[in-house]
Amino acid sequence: MMYKVKKKFGVGRLIIKEQNHMKCTVCKENAVISLKRHNLKLCEKHFREHILCQTERVIKHFNMFKKDDSILLAVSGGKDSLGLWLILKELGFNVKALHIIMPFGEYSDKSLEMVKSCATKLNEDPIIIEANEYLEIDFFKALKIYKKPICSFCGKIKRYILSIYANKNSYNVISTGHNLDDETAFLLGNVLHWHTEYLNKQGPILESNQFMPRKVKPLIRITDEEMKFFADISKIGYVEEKCPHSRYAKSIFFKEILNEIDDQMPGTKAFFYLQYIKNIKGVFFQESNEKLKGCKICQYQTYNDDICFLCNIKSKMKRTENEH
């Protein structure tokens, strides 16, 4: 399905211009960006500082991790996760990047290329895992058995790999590059459909359990456009295209709608999300009483069955192979 938003206003949330009359709020030099939500105009140097400061504030506020934690950062090849790699390094955290190669042709090739070029720039050696090889499955065959949308399966597979890899290699935190726009789009979608089970789990931090390390999203105060500008001025190359399978995803439509609202009322997006986390989530949604178990085969977490979604798919695949 294709969703479309009529462009009525055409007002950017960010004004990225070198206007002589626009002065940096901090140093009074020429500003390159205006952040309406914060009522700030910033030069390049102070914009970088602002992004680092906003991220550090979130990490501290939610007690996400400290300097002695081992952080596994999931990098996709996009602006957010690659930008976050640079930010966490600059803030002095102990971070290792992991990229999962998905079987999506040219898009996956380009993603890997961007991860590698960022690694060279940061003088880092990322972990690269090929999903099919690591899981010993054929993604598209397994998807047919899973029967739900491809984006949901892809996300589940990536969370599985991250969790298993982190556990095996003693990482105690998993970080992703989800930003404010990702989170608000997800929140809006879940509120509109009252998907309470997702609302209950949504947030900047998902505490660890005996089968999974803590999961965190340090970029929840930063928008898509801000991260794009940050990656550009940091000279990080990144994949700009959307994944070919998510091009018409509902989340893209929700992001556009939320941006139109934010154009008219700057700050609404951040208010919507941060107030949800601060004041609403805890009141309406308590700890779930689903029974958490470890998969009997691979130890990954599962809620209802004795074996996890993946081992279940694998056993179904084996059964059909034997029947033929």
Q: Establish if 74 lies at the interface with ligand AMP (CB under 6 A).
A: yes
Q: Detail the DSSP E strand segments found in 54-130.
A: 71-74, 95-101, 127-130
Q: Which residue has tokens 């300097």?
A: 67
Choices 44-52, 177-185, 187-195, 252-260 (CB under 6 A): range interacting with ligand AMP: 177-185
Among 33, 102, 157, 236, binds ligand AMP (CB under 6 A): 102
Total residues binding ligand AMP (CB under 6 A): 13
Strand partners, 71: 95, 173
Nearer to ligand AMP, 177 or 204 (CB): 177
Closest residue by Cα to residue 213 from 269, 173, 263: 173
- Interacting residues with ligand AMP between 141 and 170 (CB under 6 A): 158
Question: Least Å distance between CB 61 and ligand AMP?
Answer: 20
Partner whose binding site includes residue 102, from ligand AMP, Zn ion, none (CB under 5 to 8 Å by kind) = ligand AMP
**What spatial distance separates the first Cα and last Cα of the chain, rounded to whole Å?**
35
Q: Establish if 55 lies at the interface with ligand AMP (CB under 6 A).
A: no
Question: Least Å distance between CB 129 and ligand AMP?
Answer: 8
Give the span between the Cα atoms of 229 and 233, in whole angstroms. 6
Nearer to ligand AMP, 100 or 205 (CB): 100
Nearer to ligand AMP, 48 or 158 (CB): 158
Partner whose binding site includes residue 176, from Zn ion, ligand AMP, none (CB under 5 to 8 Å by kind) = ligand AMP
Q: Establish if 75 lies at the interface with ligand AMP (CB under 6 A).
A: yes
Give the span between the Cα atoms of 121 and 118, in whole angstroms. 5
Strand partners, 216: 175, 205
> Which residues have CB under 8 Å from 168's CB, separation 6+?
none
Give the span between the Cα atoms of 100 and 261, in whole angstroms. 34
- Interacting residues with Zn ion between 258 and 297 (CB under 5 A): 295, 297
Strands 40-42 and 71-74: unpaired
The binding site for Zn ion (CB under 5 A) comprises 24, 26-27, 43, 46, 295, 297-298, 300, 308, 311
